[in-house]
Structure 1
């Protein structure tokens, strides 16, 4: 089924059957989670370093594109804020699991 919105054809998202069929051992799931978390933190670090470099370059007069510097700084800020919020949610989930009675 295709839906037409303002002349653009949009195909609805179909459920992915293979998602339910993935079976992982606890150690595989733990390794996957750890690598995902590590990659996210590395991405955050890269974005912050890029922002710092552009800010320093602007302050020293090497570049004069203030818009690019501000966009990069805002991107860094939003990424950091998102990471902090995700961290809070993970800690809340962990605390909730620890409160469960077995």
Structure 2
């Protein structure tokens, strides 16, 4: 199965700014980069959900010619939401672990 036509769907994978093209992450000591990654991820989530909302309205009104566009966008929004929730849960878990440490 070829995936060369994925650009026609409008899917652009999210690649954080701190990940190089060869897939290795750049690790630095500043927390501001993590904060910007979180904000970028939340912006991406909002964009994906907005696109899904627009396609769902088009599907409901009959203006959407290819229903698979909505299905793909809906699945992408679901996976993006699950990833965001998982990252949030890990961050809360790490914060709670730090708070339990004795000084």
Taking structure 1 as the reference length, the TM-score comes to 0.70
Instruction: Could you tell me which runs of 5 or more consecutive residues in structure 2 were left unpaired when the two chains were aligned.
Output: 1-23
Question: Which one has a bigger Cα radius of gyration?
Answer: 1
Instruction: Say which SS state the counterpart of residue 80 (structure 1) adopts.
Output: helix
1:1-102 matches, within 5 Å, as: 22=28, 24=29, 29-102=30-103
The ranges of structure 1 where at least 4 consecutive aligned residues each deviate by more than 4 angstroms after the TM superposition are none
Residue in 2 that maps onto 1:5: none
User: What RMSD over aligned residues (CA atoms) do the two structures have, in Å?
Assistant: 1.7
Larger strand proportion of the pair: 1
Greater shift after overlay, 72-81 or 30-39? 30-39
Counterpart-to-counterpart distance in 2, 1:91 and 1:80? 16
Taking structure 2 as the reference length, the TM-score comes to 0.70
Counterpart-to-counterpart distance in 1, 2:73 and 2:67? 10
